[in-house]
Structure 1
Amino acid sequence: MKYVIFIIISCLLSSCKSSIIVPQRAVYQTEDFINVAISDFVSRCSLFKKDSVFEVTVKDTLVKLSFQSEQSRWVLDTIYSDILVVKFSGLTNKEWYYSDAVIGSKGKLASRYVIKNGKLFFWWDDNYPLTEETLAVFKEYDILTEVMERGWIPDSSIDDAKKGAHYYFCRKDAFRYKRVVTNITTGYYEPPKLKCK
């Protein structure tokens, strides 16, 4: 009987377990939050099946806006300094145009990535230089096209109906989070309630 209970508990725990291991820490790095969010997104979010390339965006501090109708503008409503947001968006325009992305440069092109189940997740990291390997992966996923004419920006369309996944984390606990799937950008809707310590 004890053996059966042990197997059931093990199965339950393994289904909740992250495929990316993030140790418990006193202070978490941004990459820890990204890894936890990717693990949940891959295993539990239906949006994972809809695209093959996902842009990851991090909002270090959540700022909520509200609309003032008498002035017809969005104004600052609330600052949530204890909340960090990790967002996933399926890439709509599959081509980026780059002209001055130099190996070793920082901030001109996304420089970090993870491949999970054959799908690419990428993000900008101003502290991490662009490498040959990263550039080769972006070319392999066919999201880069070199621009011959410096300063030319191609037309791109935005799909307002396309949904993304937003992960709201307690800044001090990478394992305390809630996911919201929506086509509204963060800051323009009420964030989920999190009990952060």
Structure 2
Amino acid sequence: MIKILIADNHPIVRMGVRSVLETANGFQVVGDVSTTGELFEKLEEVTPDVVMLEMDIPEINGIAALRKIKKSFPDVKVLMYSGQSEDVYALSSIRAGAFGYLAKTSEVDYIISAVRKVAEGNMFITNELAQRLAFDEGTQKPRRFFRKLSTREVEVLKLLASGKRNKDVALGLNLNEKTVSTYKARLMKKLNVDNMVDLLQQAKALELY
């Protein structure tokens, strides 16, 4: 059963999303809140698999709330959603650690698919957003991150993205664990991230594994 916490300041929206999820198989709504203060109080009480977080929720900006969830509740996945189009907030949401971005105009089946995919630990983004993530900032030259990586770095990243531990990666590639740690540090530098969660999210978002 996938446990969902809904965070939105509009009662009708919360009721609608709750209704959609509760009528689908395999979902349990463990709560709904209207402010970020209520959100973090609720997260101290329950541990949802997915938080559906509205971008314009009161008290704390949606991106700031997302970062706080990521820091304080790292096992909770966040699916951002908004009345704004993907062009406005999607890129910044994904870069801040969201597992997906959903427009409020989405069809019911799309919402269900998004929540289920995020709960499974996968990114939920459109093809257009994936392409935008592959662009260099400030340029319009597409740049696949893998072009920066050596063959061995690609192999290490693929194994890490599949959930392997350092020890398993070392065994699979006939390396020692210290060498794997060196590769991880090199990958973070090349992909411009500073922790493993962001590294793996980059890999997943760009389907680089």
Shorter-normalised TM range: under 0.3
Normalized per residue, which structure has more helix? Answer: 2
Larger RCO: 1 or 2 (CA < 8 Å, sep 6+): 1
Computing the radius of gyration from Cα coordinates, the structure with the larger value is 1
The normalised TM-score by structure 2 is: 0.23
The normalised TM-score by structure 1 is: 0.24
Normalized per residue, which structure has more strand? Answer: 1
